[in-house]
Structure 1
Amino acid sequence: MENSKITSRLSLLREKMSRLGIDYFLIPTADFHNSEYVAPYFQTRAYFCGFTGSNGTLVVGMEEAGLWTDGRYFIQAEKELQGTGVDLYREGEEGVPTAAQWLADRFGRAAKAQDNGEKSRALALGFDGRCVNVAQKRQFQKKLSAFGVRFVTDTDPAEGIWTDRPARPAAPAFVLEEKYAGESAPSKLERLRGKMRGAGAGIYVENRLENLMWLFNLRGRDVECTPVSLCFGVITMKDQVLFIQESAVTGQVQAYADRIGLELHPYDDVFNYLEQPGLYSQEQGAVCRALFNPASLSVRLREAMLKGRQALIDGTEITGMSQTAGRGKRPGFPGGHFDVEKRSPVEDFKAVKNAAELQNIRDCYREDSAAVCRFLFWLHKNKEDGKIGSMTEMDAAAKMDSLRAQISDYVDLSFGTISAYGPNAAMMH
Structure 2
Amino acid sequence: MFQSFESHSNPAQHIPRLAALRGELASRGLDGFIVPRADAHQSEYVSPRDARLGWLTGFTGSAGFAVVTPERAGVFIDGRYRVQVKAEIALDHFTPVPWPEVKAAVWLREALPQGGRIGYDPWLHTRREIRELEKGLAGSGLALIAQDTNPLDKIWTDQPEAPVGRVRLWPDDIAGETSAQKRGRISAKLRDAKAQAAVLTLPDSISWLLNIRGADVQKNPVVLAFAIIEHDGHVAVFTDPAKFSPEVRQALGNEVSILPLVALTPALTNLAGPVVVDPGSAPDQVFSLIESMDTLIDESLDPVIMPKATKNAAEIAGMRAAHLRDGAAVAELLCWLEARAPLLETEPLTEIGIARKLEELRSARGILDISFDTILGSGPNGAINHYRVTEATDRRILPRDIVLIDSGGQYDDGTTDITRTLPMGDFDPAIRRPYTRVLQGMIAISRARFPRGVAGAHLDALARAPLWMEGMDYDHGTGHGVGAGLSVHEGPVRISRVSEIPLQPGMILSNEPGYYREGEYGIRIENLIVIEPAHSPDGRDMLGFETLTFCPIDTRLIDPALMSSDEIAWLDAYHAKVRELIGPLVAEDVRDWLIAATRPLGAAA
1:305 aligns with 2:290: yes
Q: Deviations over 1:151-188 (max 9, x none)?
A: 22323132231122222111101111101111011111
Q: Classify 1:130/1:377 alpha carbon distance in 2 versus 1 (closer, same or farther; 3 Å).
A: same
Of 209-218 and 382-391, deviating more is 382-391
Which of 79, 82, 85 is the equivalent residue of 1:71? 79
1:5 aligns with 2:13: yes
Aligned to 1:38, what secondary structure does the other structure show?
coil
1:241 aligns with 2:244: no
Aligned to 1:295, what secondary structure does the other structure show?
coil
Question: 2:156 & 2:327 partners in 1: Cα distance?
Answer: 42
Check whether the contact 1:127–1:154 (CA below 8 A) recurs between aligned residues: no
Of 139-148 and 16-25, deviating more is 139-148
1:411 aligns with 2:396: no
Runs of 4+ with deviation above 6 angstroms = none
1:401 Cα deviation from its structure 2 partner:
1.3
Aligned to 1:168, what secondary structure does the other structure show?
coil
Question: 2:191 & 2:374 partners in 1: Cα distance?
Answer: 43
Aligned to 1:234, what secondary structure does the other structure show?
strand
Point out the structure with the larger helix share: 1
1:362 aligns with 2:347: no
Q: Deviations over 1:349-382 (max 9, x none)?
A: 0121111111101101111110111111222233
Question: 1:301 & 1:343 partners in 2: Cα distance?
Answer: 15
Which of 104, 111, 123 is the equivalent residue of 2:109? 104
Check whether the contact 2:24–2:155 (CA below 8 A) recurs between aligned residues: no
Letter in 1 for 2:106: Q
Identity %: 30
Question: 1:427 & 1:209 partners in 2: Cα distance?
Answer: 29
Check whether the contact 1:185–1:260 (CA below 8 A) recurs between aligned residues: no
Which of 384, 387, 399 is the equivalent residue of 2:357? 399
Question: 1:363 & 1:387 partners in 2: Cα distance?
Answer: 39
TM-score normalised by the chain length of structure 1: 0.83
Aligned to 2:237, what secondary structure does the other structure show?
strand
Check whether the contact 1:124–1:152 (CA below 8 A) recurs between aligned residues: no
Q: Classify 1:64/1:190 alpha carbon distance in 2 versus 1 (closer, same or farther; 3 Å).
A: same
Check whether the contact 1:33–1:208 (CA below 8 A) recurs between aligned residues: yes
TM-score normalised by the chain length of structure 2: 0.60
Q: Classify 1:248/1:387 alpha carbon distance in 2 versus 1 (closer, same or farther; 3 Å).
A: farther
Which of 20, 40, 43 is the equivalent residue of 1:35? 43
1:14 aligns with 2:22: yes
Check whether the contact 2:196–2:230 (CA below 8 A) recurs between aligned residues: yes
Question: 2:153 & 2:344 partners in 1: Cα distance?
Answer: 52
Check whether the contact 1:51–1:81 (CA below 8 A) recurs between aligned residues: yes
Letter in 1 for 2:211: N
1:53 aligns with 2:47: no
For 1:264-303, list aligned pairs within 5 A.
Answer: 264-276=258-270, 279-280=271-272, 288-303=273-288
Check whether the contact 1:379–1:388 (CA below 8 A) recurs between aligned residues: no
1:3 Cα deviation from its structure 2 partner:
4.8
Query: How many residues matched?
Result: 375
Letter in 2 for 1:30: A
Q: Identify the residue that residue 126 of structure 2 maps to in structure 1.
A: 133
Aligned to 1:158, what secondary structure does the other structure show?
helix
CA RMSD of aligned residues (A): 1.9
Q: Deviations over 1:134-156 (max 9, x none)?
A: 10010111122322514223231
Aligned to 1:159, what secondary structure does the other structure show?
helix
For 1:176-195, list aligned pairs within 5 A.
Answer: 176-195=170-189
Q: Classify 1:156/1:401 alpha carbon distance in 2 versus 1 (closer, same or farther; 3 Å).
A: same
Letter in 2 for 1:135: R
Question: 2:205 & 2:347 partners in 1: Cα distance?
Answer: 45
Q: Deviations over 1:306-352 (max 9, x none)?
A: 22x23xx8xxxxxxxxxxxxxxxxxxxxxxxx421121221110121
Q: Classify 1:260/1:356 alpha carbon distance in 2 versus 1 (closer, same or farther; 3 Å).
A: farther
Question: 2:353 & 2:361 partners in 1: Cα distance?
Answer: 13
Point out the structure with the larger strand share: 2
Check whether the contact 2:127–2:282 (CA below 8 A) recurs between aligned residues: yes
Check whether the contact 1:27–1:127 (CA below 8 A) recurs between aligned residues: yes
Q: Deviations over 1:50-89 (max 9, x none)?
A: 1111111100001111011111111110111234511111
For 1:76-87, list aligned pairs within 5 A.
Answer: 76-87=84-95
Question: 2:45 & 2:277 partners in 1: Cα distance?
Answer: 21
Aligned to 1:51, what secondary structure does the other structure show?
coil
Letter in 2 for 1:421: S
Which of 219, 233, 257 is the equivalent residue of 1:263? 257
Question: 1:125 & 1:256 partners in 2: Cα distance?
Answer: 46
- Structure 1: tracts of 5 or more residues without a match: 112-121, 281-287, 314-337
1:224 Cα deviation from its structure 2 partner:
1.5
Question: 1:183 & 1:387 partners in 2: Cα distance?
Answer: 54
Question: 2:345 & 2:381 partners in 1: Cα distance?
Answer: 20
Q: Classify 1:172/1:388 alpha carbon distance in 2 versus 1 (closer, same or farther; 3 Å).
A: farther
